[in-house]
Copies of this chain bind each other. A is one copy, B any other.
C-alpha cells in the first residue's frame, strides 16, 4: 500500500449483492461501489462480516475482490478480509485476495479452535511475515469469541506486524487504550485505528480514531462522510446531530423477528433491503442459511429510510 493509501476516513465494509440463486451479482456490486464512491468514501473493505465473507465460497470471494479492484483501478485503497480459522487457511486467502488486487488484508484471531494470546500473536506474526501487503487486525469477538487484548495490539503495532486495527468489539474503552497507547509507541506511526461501530463513530473520532468502517455506510455513505468531515472540523454539535440521525437509521437492523431469525439475517437482510429500496442493488437476497425478511419487515426498512430522508 503506497503512502497515499493510508487507511483513514470512511471505509465501508461493502455488502455483496447476490442473485436470487446465491451467485454474486456483479452488476449490482459495481453499482454499489459507484454509489459509495459518489458518497465520498475514502476506501473500501470487501470480504468482511458485512460482506457475508463467512458465506461466500472461495470462488465467490475471489470474484468479489477482482471485480472491485478492477473497477477501482487504484482510485481508493481496497482492503480485503482473509477470514478463516487459523494461520494455514488464512494464508491461502491472503494469497488469493492479494492476487485479486487487495491493497491490505484484514485478519481475525483464530476461531473455531480454542486459542490463547500467545497463539494470536504467533498467528499475526506468521501472517504478516508471509503477506505481500499490510495486515490489519480485525477485532470481532461476537464472531470469533476472543477479544484482542489492547496490550497485544500495541505490541504488534510497535513491531510493525500490524498496520492497523478494525475494532468491531463494541468495547470503546479498549479502543481508547489502543488510541492513547499508540502515543507511547513512536514505532507504530502510520498504524490506523478504525472503529466498526455505526453508532459511536463520532465518539471514536473524538478520541483519536483514524477512520470508521460502518456497515450502515452502504446505505448512507453521504451521511458518514458528512459525519467524518464534521468531526475533523471540530464541529461537534452538528456532528452529534448527524450521528444521532444515523443512530436512528441504524435501528433498521432490528426489523427481523427474533423468533424467526438471528441477528445476521436481520441486520444484513435490512442493509440489503435498504439498498434494494434505494435502487442500488437488484435483489436483497442474503446467503444461506440466513432467513429472508418478510414483506412487512422490508416495509419497515422503508420507514426507517424515509425518516432518515433517504427515500
Contacts and interface: CB of A to CB of B under 8 A. Distances in A.
Copy number in this complex?
4
A192 interface: no
Contacts of A123: 288-289
Contacts of A55: 85-89, 113
Nearest to A145: B145
Contact of A113 (B49, B60, B85): B49
A129 to B, nearest CB: 11
A131 interface: no
Contacts of A244: 180
A152 interface: no
Nearest to A174: B170
A235 B110 CA distance: 42
A289 B87 contact: yes
Contacts of A83: 112
A172 B143 contact: no
A58 to B, nearest CB: 7
A85 B54 contact: yes
A99 interface: no
A200 B145 CA distance: 24
Contacts of A202: 206-207
Contacts of A177: 199, 247
A159 interface: no
Interface stretch (A25-33, A64-72, A258-266): A258-266
A116, A145, A202: residue with the most chain B Cβ atoms closer than 10 Å: A116
A5 interface: no
Nearest to A140: B112
A233 interface: no
A98 to B, nearest CB: 16
B172 A126 contact: no
Contact of A291 (B122, B234, B236, B260): B122
Interface string A136-162: 000000111100000000000000000
Interface in A51-108: 54-58, 60, 83, 85-89, 92
Given A86-B54, A88-B22, A291 B247 contact: no
Q: Sorted from nearest, which 3 A-B pairs have the closest CB atoms?
A: A116-B262, A122-B289, A123-B289
